Amino acid sequence: MTQPKISSIAYLIAEPVRAVILITLADGSAMSASALADAAGVTPQTASSHLAKLLDGGLLTVEIKGRNRFYQLAGPDVSHVLESLAAVSPQTSTWRSLPNRAAHELRFARCCYDHLAGQVGVAVTQGMLERGYILERNEREFVLTLRGIEWLQSLNPESGEPCFQDHVQARRCLDWTERQHHIAGPLGTHLLDTFCQLGWLRRTAGTRAVSVTTTGWRAFKTHLGIEHLRHLEAPLHATVPARRRLIPAPAAG
């Protein structure tokens, strides 16, 4: 039986520059070598050396368009591994201090599999807990209450049938950027779909990042008391200075 070469993959991810490159691409986007060099704060030559190793290791793929090469994660499994590692990494880790726009957008609001995550996802969960819409059943699950069912029904009264029955369980998913739990499982999927259908959230093609609309901010404040995050959205659109050095730039190892 062939054993998976975990050590070789761990070696690739553990190098700081490569870790920054990988997490920058975690939203599913494709970026050029120069853009990734800017994100990691290294020279294009250093970035190219690291990109070659990530390609050889099967963590990245590259698409050639004319004279340009665009890199992206090899698949969702790579993204899931990165998120799992980030969830147990130190709070001071580079993963949480990236100044580039993509990283900030992912931390602010994103799709985690089929549910809402990031600062907005955690805030929605806390708002539902505070209002008694869900309860903490145990370390692994939330449970939707009758009050929560009524609230969900009020969001879409024209649907007719109740969207859930009593005591629906919802998995607690540890948010890798916030180190708190957000709602996953069928309830998490329903919430994300509902918020998008109501125009509170807007998905963007080619990325897992999600934006909150003006209607969404009003609704989140009214229904869940969420307003403290709105000021965090503005910096996402600021331009990050090029080649800002985040970490030392050793030779690719």
Q: Distance between CA 69 and CA 63 in Å, rounded?
A: 6
Q: Which of 75-84, 149-158, 188-197 has the lowest mean pLDDT?
A: 75-84
Q: Which of 68, 82, 112, 43 is nearest to 251 (CA)?
A: 43
Provide the residue type at 127 as one letter.
Answer: G
Please give the C-alpha separations between residue 27 and each of 9, 56, 128, 151, 252, in angstroms, as whole numbers.
20, 21, 27, 31, 24
Q: What is the DSSP string of 163-184?
A: SS-TTEEEEEEE-TTTSSEEE-
- Cβ burial 125-144 (10 Å sphere, 16+ → b, else e): bbbbbeeebbeeeeeeebbb
For the segment 108-130, the average pLDDT, to the nearest whole number, is: 94
Q: Is 245 helix (H, G, I), strand (E, B) or coil?
A: coil
CATH of the domain spanning 6-92: 1.10.10.10
* Max Cα-Cα span within the chain: 62
pLDDT given for residue 35 in this prediction: 87
Give per-residue pLDDT as tens, 147-168. Answer: 999 999 999 877 655 566 655 6
For the segment 55-65, the average pLDDT, to the nearest whole number, is: 95
pLDDT given for residue 160 in this prediction: 55
Q: What is the dihedral of CA 14, 16, 18, 23, to 10 degrees?
A: 90
Confidence of residue 48 (pLDDT cuts 50, 70, 90): very high
For the segment 51-69, the average pLDDT, to the nearest whole number, is: 94
Confidence of residue 246 (pLDDT cuts 50, 70, 90): very low
Q: What is the DSSP string of 16-27?
A: HHHHHHHHHTTT
Residue ranges per structural domain of the chain? 6-92, 107-237
Cβ burial, residue 181 (10 Å; 0-12/13-18/19+): buried
For the segment 120-139, the average pLDDT, to the nearest whole number, is: 96
- Cβ burial 37-75 (10 Å sphere, 16+ → b, else e): bbbbbbebebbbbbbebbeebebbeeeeeeeeebbbbbe
Q: Is 115 helix (H, G, I), strand (E, B) or coil?
A: strand
- pTM of the predicted model, to two decimals? 0.71
Residue of 68 and 54 predicted with greater confidence? 54
